[in-house]
Amino acid sequence: MSMLSKFEVIEIVKHVPPMSLIIEPTKLRQTRGIVEALEYAPFVHYLLDSGSKKLAIQVTTEKDPQKVAFSKEKDEQGALAVLYQNSKLVETIRAVMPEWDPSKKYKVPGTYSKTDKAIIFDLKKGVPYARGEHKKKGEATEE
Give the pLDDT confidence of 99-114 residue by residue, as tens digits.
999 999 999 999 999 8
Mean pLDDT computed over 92-96: 96
The model's pTM is 0.81
pLDDT for position 14: 64
Residues linked to residue 107 through DSSP beta bridges, in sequence order: 22, 127
What was the pLDDT predicted at 138?
45
CB distance 24 to 104 below 8 Å:
no
Neighbouring C-beta atoms of residue 59, cutoff 10 Å: 20
The DSSP output letter for 130 is -
Q: How many CA atoms lie within 13 A of 68 on its CB side?
A: 14
**All structural domains of the chain with their residue ranges:** 20-129
In this structure, the strands spanning 105-113 and 82-85 are unpaired
